[in-house]
Structure 1
Amino acid sequence: MPRLPRLAGATALALAVGLLATAPAMGGEPAVSDPRIVAHFDFAQGGTPENLALEPDGSADLTFFFARKIVNVTRDGDTRTLATLPAVPNPHTPVVTAAVVTGIARAYDGTLYVNYATGTRKTGIWRLDRDGGAPRQIAELPADGFPNGLALDERRGVLYAADSVLGTVWRVSLENGTRTAWATGAELDPGTGANAAGVGSNGLRFHHNAVWVSNTDAATLLRIPVREDGSAGRIRTRATGLTGVDDFGFVERHGDTVLAALLSSDEVVRVRPDGSHAVVLTAADGLSNPTAVAVRGRSAYVTSAAYFTEDDPNLLLARVHQRARD
């Protein structure tokens, strides 16, 4: 097996993506406990989980960044491949060179959508029907960009995709695949300083009629309201100081409280609606460059891709419960 493309320190940090909060927490603050790794993956074979979406049965659909795969993992750790994105000869993907699968979103009917970054015309959003079959491209995104986080607004029939290199949130019609540069601005742009990874808008979630985006280089979590006509409202910063932030998930019944993955420090942090944050999981719990978080009820799922450590990429499951306010 050829050696996987190696991520330089700054570049790996670039793969991260976002988190934060804005509405008041309800009934105290959520705590995270009882972490356990439910599945281990093979780094040498490209088993680097980048993002995840949850199924009704509690299993998780993961994207394997380098292996170009979509896999399903049960709560007991049973893993099966759902699809593999087609190989691309001579990919020219910004930041990583290789063709990679990034964000994933699930529709209510079980259809899966993923971002595929290749540096070619195959860059864009791909669809996998719930009954299986080969994945197919439904929208083309700029070849010189890097589509990363992905979220679905089924009521409006659109997908939102964060472009980490072009500093853009794309809005894509499910009906015809038409793309629109829905939101742009300095808040979404990658950094340009000596310590910048060249990755701006990264993780993305649709929550309470707003698009939330993390900016890795800026270490921020952003909120962009969706106006009545579907256009983007003003971009507002909801949290700062989230060094190495990757994807994130909202804690149910706690308004805009977020659990966010900090890729470079092997941590998951709880981000309060006021923007303050505290560490809730660390490397001691099994994290190895965590990339994404999804929360459902009393369960938090965390993917670790081991981009820096190259040791034990995995899926971790933890318990979310009430605790006294700090």
Structure 2
Amino acid sequence: MRAHLSTGARRRAATLCLAALLAVAAGAPAHPGHATGTRLGDVRVLAHFDRAAGQVAESIALEPGGGVVIGMIAARQVTRVARDGSVRVLATMPLPPDGGGTTPVVGAPVVTGVARSDSGAVYFLYSAGRGGLTGIWQLRPSGGPRLVVPLPADTMPNALVIDRERNRFLVTDSTGGRIWQAPLRGGSASVWSADPALSPHGFFGANGMKVHGGAVWASNSDDGTLVRIPVTRDGGSGRAEVRATGLAGVDDFDFTGRGTEILAAVNQAGELVRVDADGSHETLLDPGDGMRGTTAVAVRGKRVYITNGANLAGNDPNLMVAELRRR
């Protein structure tokens, strides 16, 4: 039997129904980032590198004018790529006397992270399995590079960051599962954090790193996580918290300028992934877009730089650029 409602009752029922629908819509989460998340456009290769010469692109440091400095793993080189894509080798590190076979995990000497100070000084990491060679090196306008911060022979320094607020270097140690710190002027290094969230489980733990919003962020390649470590008032490390999971083989990453939204290079899958503030993530570029062993990403304004090491697939290590498009 159908009930008969007065006009007022029908209006009240319609109002309640609309209110319920609005409440459901407000409480339902949107598909991660699809409405407002960053996108990439105009993706292209800016420079190709020589795989036969060991130029496996690993890291990026931004320079004024649109150029970048890149660390080349197997070639033991630091290179500069100009805005027009021209490539120049700035330094090639010598082989250690024993050939570098004692370098942790990889068994060969490698140049990894690079960084540039506000004064224009370029620094890079060399891991050679030997004391006196492994550590932070500085390029000099004349003469060869010089070691400014020695690190223990059993470390695998990977990412190099300059913490400008604290006037110090920070370095991830991928096999030790640690982050080291050292004065920017050079000298002795000490362990800043050895939180279990940085530990390796078979290969590399702490890998990429950035300083952002009063905290040090690091990726853990083995765990597939992004980790946030608060910086305490005295510059020390707080307790790490995992902010994203499900990123197996994650390497370097950078912030887009929109809160804690991140672009992450996933090496094993050959992907560039956007990670939202809630830890959800979406693949923006994959092998179909030319990603091959993606190692690093750096954001400058609306320009994104991406290195492909092509160390697991393909034969074209390169530097790509893309336009950052916000929605």
- Shorter chain as denominator, the TM-score bin is 0.7 to 0.9
Deviation string 1:168-212 (CA, Å, 9 cap, x unpaired) is: 100111234221111012111111xxxx3x211111111222111
TM-score for the superposition, normalised by structure 2: 0.86
Whole-angstrom distance in 2 between the partners of 1:292 and 1:158: 22
Q: Which residue pairs with 1:241 in the alignment?
A: 246
Q: Distance in 1 between matches of 2:214 and 2:82?
A: 30
Q: 2:104 aligns with which of 94, 97, 108?
A: 94
Match of 1:42 in 2: 50
Percent identical across equivalent pairs? 44
**Could you tell me which residue of structure 2 aligns to residue 148 of structure 1?**
158
Indicate the RMSD between aligned Cα atoms, in angstroms. Answer: 1.4
In the alignment, which residue of structure 2 is the partner of 1:183?
A: 193
What is the match of residue 80 of structure 2?
72
> Is 1:265 equivalent to 2:269 in the alignment?
yes
The answer on 1:126 being equivalent to 2:130 is no
1:174 and 2:180 aligned: no
Structure having greater relative contact order (Cα 8 Å, sep ≥ 6): 1
Once residues 75 and 283 of structure 1 are traced to their aligned partners in structure 2, the CA distance between those partners, rounded to angstroms, is 24
1: CA distance, partners of 2:319 / 2:83: 10
Aligned to 2:216: 211
Spell out structure 1 runs of 4+ moving beyond 6 A. none
Work out the CA distance in 2 between the residues paired with 1:175 and 1:60: 23
Distance 1:310 1:28 in 2: 33
CA offset digits 1:131-181 (Å, max 9, x no partner): 354211011111111010110012322100000011110011123422111
Q: Distance in 2 between matches of 1:39 and 1:174?
A: 31
Count of equivalent residues:
291
Residue 181 of structure 1 aligns with an amino acid whose one-letter code is V
State the distance in 2 between where 1:41 and 1:315 align: 8
Structure 1 residue 310, shift from structure 2 partner: 4.6
Aligned to 1:85: 93
Counterparts of 1:73 and 1:105, CA distance in 2: 14
Q: SS of the residue aligned with 2:162?
A: strand
Judge conservation of contact 1:286–1:316 (CA < 8 Å) in 2: no
Give secondary structure in 1 for the equivalent of 2:137. strand
Paired residue for 1:225?
230
The answer on whether the counterparts of 1:128 and 1:136 sit within 8 Å (CA) in structure 2 is yes
294-303 or 202-211, which moves further after superposition?
A: 202-211
Distance 1:176 1:61 in 2: 21
- Asked if 2 retains the 8 angstrom alpha-carbon contact of 1:82 and 1:132, the reply is no
- Pairing 1:303–2:311 present: no
Q: Does 1:138 align with 2:148?
A: yes
Do the aligned partners of 2:195 and 2:239 also contact (CA within 8 Å) in 1?
A: no
Give secondary structure in 2 for the equivalent of 1:284: helix
Query: Structure 1, residues 270-295: CA drift from partner, whole Å, max 9, x if none?
Result: 00011000001111221110000000
Aligned to 1:315: 319
1:207 and 1:88 map into 2 onto residues whose CA distance is 36
Which residue number in structure 2 is paired with residue 256 of structure 1? Answer: 260
Q: Give the TM-score normalised by the residue count of structure 1.
A: 0.86
In the aligned structure 1, how far is the partner of 2:158 from the partner of 2:240?
19
1:106 aligns with 2:116: yes
Distance of 1:42 and 1:270 partners within structure 2: 29
DSSP 3-state at the match of 1:29: coil
AA partner of residue 136 (structure 1):
R
Post-superposition shift, 1:111? Answer: 0.6
Secondary structure of 1:187's counterpart equals helix
Between the aligned partners of 1:200 and 1:290, the Cα distance in structure 2 is: 17
Alpha-carbon contact 1:48-1:305 (below 8 Å) kept = yes
- Larger Cα-atom Rg: 2
Worse-superposed segment, 81-90 or 66-75 = 81-90
Please give the alpha-carbon distance, in whole angstroms, between the structure 2 residues aligned to 1:309 and 1:139. 34
Is contact 2:179-2:192 (8 Å) kept?
A: yes
- The CA deviation at 1:259 is 0.4
Residue type at the aligned position of 1:235? A
- 2:122 paired with 1:116: no
Pairs within 5 Å for 1:265-284: 265-284=269-288
Partner of 2:167: 157
Q: String of CA shifts for 1:81-110, please: whole Å, max 9, x gaps.
A: 111223212211011111100111110111
Structure 2 match to 1:57:
65
**Partner amino acid for 2:289?**
D
CA distance in 1, matches of 2:197, 2:113: 20
